[in-house]
Amino acid sequence: MLQLICLPCVLLIRQTLPKTKSKSRYCYCFGYSYCYCYCYCYCYCCRCHCHCRCHCRCHCRCHCRCHCRCHCTLPLPHPLPLPLPLPTAAAAATCHCPLPLPLPVLLLLLLIVLLLLPLLLPLLLPLPLPLPLPLLLLLLIVLLLLLLLLLLLLLLLLLLLLLIRPLIRLLLLLLPLLLLLLLLVLLLLLLLLLLILLLLRLLLLLLLLLLLLLLLLMIIILLLLLFLLLLAMLHNLFLNVSFC
One pLDDT digit (tens) per residue for the chain, 244 residues: 545 555 565 566 666 655 554 545 555 555 555 555 555 555 555 555 554 444 444 444 544 454 444 444 445 555 555 444 444 544 444 444 444 556 656 666 666 666 666 555 555 555 554 556 667 677 777 777 777 777 777 777 766 666 666 666 776 777 777 778 778 888 888 888 888 888 888 898 898 899 889 888 888 988 898 888 888 888 887 777 766 6
Intra-chain end-to-end CA distance of the chain, in Å: 172
What pLDDT is attached to residue 142? Answer: 73
Residue 6 has a pLDDT of 55
Whether pTM > 0.85 for this model: the answer is no
Cα–Cα distance, 89 to 98 (Å, whole number): 17
Q: Which residues of 158-188 are buried (b: 16+ CB within 10 A; e: fewer)?
A: eeeeeeeeeeeeeeeeeeeeeeeeeeeeeee
3-state secondary structure of 137: helix
- Domain map (residue ranges) of the chain: 46-75, 134-240
Residue 114 confidence (pLDDT) = 64
d(CA 46, CA 106): 72
Q: How distant, in Å, are the alpha carbons of 14, 19, 205, 206 from that of 82?
A: 13, 9, 92, 93
Q: Give the pLDDT confidence score for residue 56 in this predicted structure.
A: 44
Please, where are the H alpha helices in 54-102?
57-72, 89-94
Distance CA 244, CA 241 (A): 5
